[in-house]
Amino acid sequence: MPGLDYFHKSENGAAPAAAAPAADVNTEAPVEAPRSNVYYNARLDPKNYLEGPLSHNAATRLRQMLARPGIVVAPGICDGISARVALEAGFDCLYQSGAATTASRLGQPDVAIATLNDFVGAAQMVCSLQPSVPVIADADTGFGGPANVARTVRQYVSAGVAGMHIEDQVQTKRCGHLLGKQVVSREEFLTRIRAAVIARDSIPGGSDFVIIGRTDSAQVLGMEEAVTRLKLAADAGADVCFIEGVKTEELLRSTVAALAPKPVLVNVISGGLTPSFTTQEAETMGAKIIIFSLVSSVAMVHAVRDAMRSLKKTGTDFSSARGMDPKAFFEVMGLNEVIELDARAGGSAYQVV
């Protein structure tokens, strides 16, 4: 199978591209990404995912969605409740935001406080709710060096995650829509991408896990450097390119054109660095995936804040409940499926609920 070997061949036959020359982050001059010696895995060629019914394997399904017409819309979820509500609304892809996970599990801001275990634990729960629905998960910086990046890939795949994005911020990272970001050198970023690709391609039986290269360098080193980094990431095996903090429609369009035919992901956070593009607008601009990282978390803050203030003021939760009784709440959480399973198995525990 076609592929270039710079460490060792995986059992699937593919190997990432040779390393780009190391460069100091403060002195490297913008250059065009080399178009030779690029990673190629014939098994993962997008043309292989154009036909046939959507797979029940979430990673394969995500590749099918990427290969076929239409933008992939992935709302950011922060816990089981938000994931259930997103599925109820009919979304066919979910996004596990690192910021949302850190907030919901730890009650902390997105400043490199959460660990791999926090992210994997959240992913296991979310992916178990409807396993065929792809979940794209934030992997921050990969939680360390190449071995840690590889471990992250293996644990995400085991959890049922369909794809992950890995970025070029320093280990003490922060939300991509905050100021004061710092990024590593090109070479360190590419090392992370190559480690993820090697780990994915080394999974026995072959994995369709999608690797998304993310750069936060636009706000630090400029758009030209950001696009160059993503070209290099694509050469190293990234399946999708994610440029954080695109500030205008023109910049998103030019980024999509520069990275074609690689799919481009855009992250929309109300009040963040990127304008509040609609899904239709983003698709018109050429984006293939749009995520709304904090849609659940911010809505939850407003809703819970209102409910708590109302309870404090009135002494009752009647108005905030809006007529939803406990059974109706549990039905959103999958109660009817549990009752049906119990009955089909011959149980009688939930004949009356």
Catalytic residues: 95, 110, 138, 140, 165, 167, 175, 214, 244, 267
HSE of 35 in the Cβ direction (CA atoms, 13 Å)? Answer: 4
Its sign, for the CA torsion 206, 77, 64, 55, is positive
Structure tokens at 270: 């109300």
Q: How far is CA 104 from the centre of its chain?
A: 17
Residue 270 DSSP one-character state: T
Query: How many other C-beta atoms can be found within 10 angstroms of the C-beta atom of residue 128?
Result: 12
Whole-number Å distance between alpha carbons of 66 and 71: 8
HSE of 222 in the Cβ direction (CA atoms, 13 Å)? Answer: 9
Query: How many other C-beta atoms can be found within 10 angstroms of the C-beta atom of residue 323?
Result: 7
174 near 137, Cβ under 8 Å? no
Query: What is the enclosing helix (H) or strand (E) of 338?
Result: helix 335-344
Per residue in 214-234, is it b (16+ CB within 10 Å) or e — as a string? bbbbbbbbebebbbbbbbbbb
Residue with tokens 């980024």: 255
Nearest to 138 by CA among 109, 194, 176: 176
